[in-house]
């Protein structure tokens, strides 16, 4: 998430919290809508058996984490927005196997590796996709798995009506190349209504 718009990203997501936006507490219709990027099939692709160490890039308020934390051994989530991480801490407070980091995945120094790394709807904020995917690959334990959901949208901005945030749209061909260049083997690739999902190891 390097570049001048890091401050804009933090400001955007901090503002969403200020505006009362927390997908963990979305009503059912909104949850069903969000599943069109990363529903049960996406969670199934992680291959959780209950003992894995897991990293989520762009954990947000914990929308996916609340479904994954009970199914894994140790969970780490990283997000760039301080207010979002504070909310995630509240939402995941009942679990003892959770560690949350407020920071930029692309520059944060991790002290350990993971069995599973996943990310959904976050890579649009990352300009250098290859560097981020290569970093994820290096952080995987032997036989580890990386699962990524990207948005089909090609817009260069997220427009909320009150503010515009520049993004770097994801291209499935480019992501495929990045995964292969990082030495990962794609074991699954499919389309959802609003996104593309890649599972690699």
Question: How many domains does the chain contain in total?
Answer: 1
Query: What is the per-residue pLDDT for 27?
Result: 84
Q: Three-state SS string across 147-200, please?
A: EEEEECCCCCEEECCCCEEECCCCCHHHHHHHHHHCCCCEEEEEECCCEEEEEE
Whole-prediction pTM = 0.92
User: pLDDT digit string (tens) for 70-95?
Assistant: 999 999 999 999 999 999 999 999 99
User: Is 1 part of any domain?
Assistant: no
* Any domain includes 22: yes
pLDDT at 4 over 60: no
Q: What percent of the chain stands above pLDDT 70?
A: 98
pLDDT (0 to 100) of residue 83: 95
Task: Output the CA torsion sign for 167, 196, 139, 71.
Answer: positive
DSSP annotation of 106: T
- pLDDT for res 153: 87
Does a structural domain hold residue 192?
yes
How much is the pLDDT for 18? 87
67: in domain: yes
* DSSP state for residue 70 in the 8-state scheme: G
Question: Is the distance from CB of 106 to CB of 100 less than 8 angstroms?
Answer: no
Q: Say which CATH number the domain at 14 has.
A: 3.40.50.150
pLDDT digits (tens, 9 = 90+) for 40-64: 999 999 999 999 999 999 999 999 9
Look at residue 5 and tell me whether its pLDDT is greater than 80. no
Question: Domain span at residue 76?
Answer: 6-200
- 172-181 vs 129-138: helix crossing angle, rounded to 10: 40
């Amino acid at each position: 998430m390097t570049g001048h718009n890091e401050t804009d990203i933090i400001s955007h997501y901090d503002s969403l919290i200020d505006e009362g936006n927390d997908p963990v507490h979305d009503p059912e219709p909104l949850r069903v809508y969000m599943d069109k990027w990363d529903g049960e099939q996406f969670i199934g692709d992680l291959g959780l058996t209950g003992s894995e160490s897991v990293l989520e890039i762009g954990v947000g308020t914990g929308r996916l984490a609340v479904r994954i934390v009970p199914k894994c051994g140790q969970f780490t989530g990283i997000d760039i927005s301080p207010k979002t991480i504070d909310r995630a801490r509240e939402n995941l407070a009942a679990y003892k196997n959770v560690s949350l980091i407020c920071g930029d995945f692309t520059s944060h120094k991790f002290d350990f590796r993971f069995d599973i790394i996943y990310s959904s709807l976050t890579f649009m904020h990352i300009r250098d996709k290859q560097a981020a995917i290569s970093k994820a690959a290096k952080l995987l334990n032997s036989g580890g798995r990386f699962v990524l959901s990207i948005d089909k949208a090609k817009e260069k901005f997220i427009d909320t009506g009150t503010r515009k945030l520049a993004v770097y749209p994801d291209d499935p061909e480019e992501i495929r190349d990045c995964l292969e260049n990082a030495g990962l083997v794609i074991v699954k690739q499919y389309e959802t209504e609003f996104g593309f999902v890649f599972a690699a190891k």
